[in-house]
Amino acid sequence: MQRRTFLGMLLVSPALIKADSKVFHSNVYLREDQRKSFYSVQKKLELVKKYIGFGNFNIISFDDILKISARVSKIGKFSKEELDFIEEIFYEDPSRYGFYGSRTMPSLTSKIDKSEVIKIPRTGHYLFKGDPLDSYTKAKRDVGSSLILTSGVRGIPKQMNLFFNKLKSTKENLTLAAHSLAPPAYSYHSLGDFDVGKKGWGYKNFTVSFVRTKEFWRLRRLPYISMRYTINNKDGVRFEPWHVKII
């Protein structure tokens, strides 16, 4: 057995995966006074996404979200309470609920510059031109055409939408939500990271099962990319073998 394969098997041994799926921070939930605003904001973001389309929503700015919601009556303008809630979640220190990654977006109004990104055909996702696009193109060449982009550039509203949907599914448990999704100001998808998967694998691309694919093993051999969230990473994020960091 090749040393690399052996090390890889150690890396994904069931005991380690089990250990990694545990959340070590004690659970922190939304406060009672945040619940109403949380559910209305979560709903509004979904409505804006539906209105402008999945692809456009990936890179939309917060200012544009506000403009669209004010203009479209079935969405409705954000209230003062909703905006206060968003600001609190965006600017607070998430280490209080167990997320220790670095802030990637300084301000709620930080924008993705459209001239710096490119839409990848048939994916609905964008990549930053330069290193991320070059690495993805090379990886497709080196791994094979069965490697697909499953998530690329995410602006603040997109990350907020994903985080809030997760927070809804964890029944307002911030600790559990942040274990599988970076809070809105903390995603490396806003700086150049992206997710890949195996064509036709659907949601399994976002599970530990991805390590069983030949696409993953070929990916691991590439010198120009690495894995952002390894097992027991210091950010407090679960093991994410599909999340690519550019070297």
Residues of this chain that interact with Zn ion (CB under 5 A) are: 195, 243
CA–CA distance, 223 with 7 (Å, rounded to integer): 17
What radius of gyration do the chain's Cα atoms show? 18
**Residue corresponding to tokens 């697909």:** 148
Helix (H, G, I), strand (E, B) or coil at 70: helix
**Residue corresponding to tokens 């544009």:** 64
Q: Pick the closer one to Zn ion by CB: 195 or 235.
A: 195
DSSP β-ladder status, 240-246 and 225-229: antiparallel
CA neighbor of 149 nearest in space, from 200, 191, 198, 196: 196
Q: Give burial (CB, 10 Å; 0-12/13-18/19+) of 89.
A: buried
Residue type for position 220: R
CA–CA distance, 4 with 128 (Å, rounded to integer): 31
Q: Cβ distance 227 to 246 under 8 Å?
A: no
CA–CA distance, 166 with 174 (Å, rounded to integer): 9
Structure tokens at 238: 């679960």
Helix (H, G, I), strand (E, B) or coil at 196: strand
Q: Pick the closer one to Zn ion by CB: 48 or 149.
A: 149
**Smallest distance, Zn ion to C-beta of residue 230, A:** 13
**Smallest distance, Zn ion to C-beta of residue 79, A:** 31
**Smallest distance, Zn ion to C-beta of residue 132, A:** 12
**Smallest distance, Zn ion to C-beta of residue 243, A:** 4
CA neighbor of 182 nearest in space, from 95, 65, 62: 95
Q: Pick the closer one to Zn ion by CB: 40 or 165.
A: 165
**Smallest distance, Zn ion to C-beta of residue 56, A:** 20
**Smallest distance, Zn ion to C-beta of residue 27, A:** 23
Residue type for position 123: T
Residue of minimal CB distance from Zn ion?
243
**Smallest distance, Zn ion to C-beta of residue 93, A:** 22
